[in-house]
């Protein structure tokens, strides 16, 4: 079934790894906007196809596309955080269907969980909050910067590009960035020194 132009797709597919081509359902929820396939493909080209041993957090998981994609490519631990109870249940159902032992679904406040992860040295934190939740972006970036290790990455999807000065104030440096339609995407590293 085709979706109307401007409406979200009803499913997305995992692009690589052991669950390549597996479908992830997309619920009809306000603000739910799965990361477009071409953006995910670019992101995982930047990060590398093999994430064996990585620990990642998908902080506003939604469909779980970023977290499941990382786990499919070998991430040792993928923590999917989602506040919406129906979406969290859907993530758990996908985890069960894929027999994704390295994926953990946690229902609750993504920002609070990120703050609790400070100093834990995660390899990557994926931030794709609802675009209308603008107040979340700055504290989520600050918390993500504290959660990753010195060689870690923070991935951010936002409705606008973030400047190097804005990111530096949060302890992050722009590593790579791009734009796809209304989505500005950024791969960030900890600010050196």
Dihedral sign from CA coordinates of 155, 136, 72, 21: negative
The answer to the question of residue 161 being in a domain is: yes
Domain count of the fold of the chain: 1
**CATH code: domain of residue 27:** 3.40.50.150
Is the separation of the CB atoms in 56 and 68 below 8 Å?
Answer: no
pLDDT tens digits, one per residue of 66-99: 999 999 999 999 999 999 999 999 999 999 999 9
Q: What range defines the domain where residue 52 resides?
A: 11-190
Q: Output the pTM of the full model.
A: 0.91
In degrees, rounded to 5, the angle at the alpha carbon of residue 63 between the alpha carbons of residues 49 and 24 is: 70
The answer to the question of residue 3 being in a domain is: no
The answer to the question of residue 1 being in a domain is: no
The answer to the question of residue 92 being in a domain is: yes
Q: Where is average pLDDT lowest: 35-49, 76-90, 107-121?
A: 35-49
Of residues 4 and 125, which shows the higher confidence score?
A: 125
The answer to the question of residue 2 being in a domain is: no
* Residue 133 confidence (pLDDT): 84
The answer to the question of residue 75 being in a domain is: yes
- Considering only CA atoms, which of 142, 137, 155 is closest in space to residue 56? 155
- Considering only CA atoms, which of 108, 109, 7, 26 is closest in space to residue 65? 26
The answer to the question of residue 4 being in a domain is: no
């Amino acid at each position: 079934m085709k979706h109307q132009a401007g409406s979200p797709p009803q499913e997305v597919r995992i692009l690589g790894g052991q669950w390549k081509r597996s479908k992830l359902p997309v619920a009809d929820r306000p603000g739910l906007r799965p990361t477009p396939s071409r953006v995910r493909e670019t992101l995982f080209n930047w990060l590398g196809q093999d994430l064996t041993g990585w620990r990642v957090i998908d902080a506003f998981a939604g469909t779980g596309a970023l977290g499941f994609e990382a786990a499919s490519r070998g991430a040792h631990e993928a923590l999917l955080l989602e506040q919406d109870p129906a979406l969290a249940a859907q993530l758990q159902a996908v985890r069960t269907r894929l027999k994704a032992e390295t994926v953990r679904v946690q229902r609750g406040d993504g920002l609070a969980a990120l703050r609790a992860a400070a100093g834990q040295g995660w390899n990557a934190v994926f931030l794709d909050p609802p675009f209308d939740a603008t107040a979340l972006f700055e504290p989520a970036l600050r918390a993500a910067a504290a959660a990753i290790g010195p060689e870690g990455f923070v991935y951010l999807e936002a409705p606008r590009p973030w400047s190097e000065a804005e990111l530096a104030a949060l302890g992050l440096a722009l590593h790579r960035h791009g734009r796809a339609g209304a989505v500005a995407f950024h791969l960030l590293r900890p600010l050196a020194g």
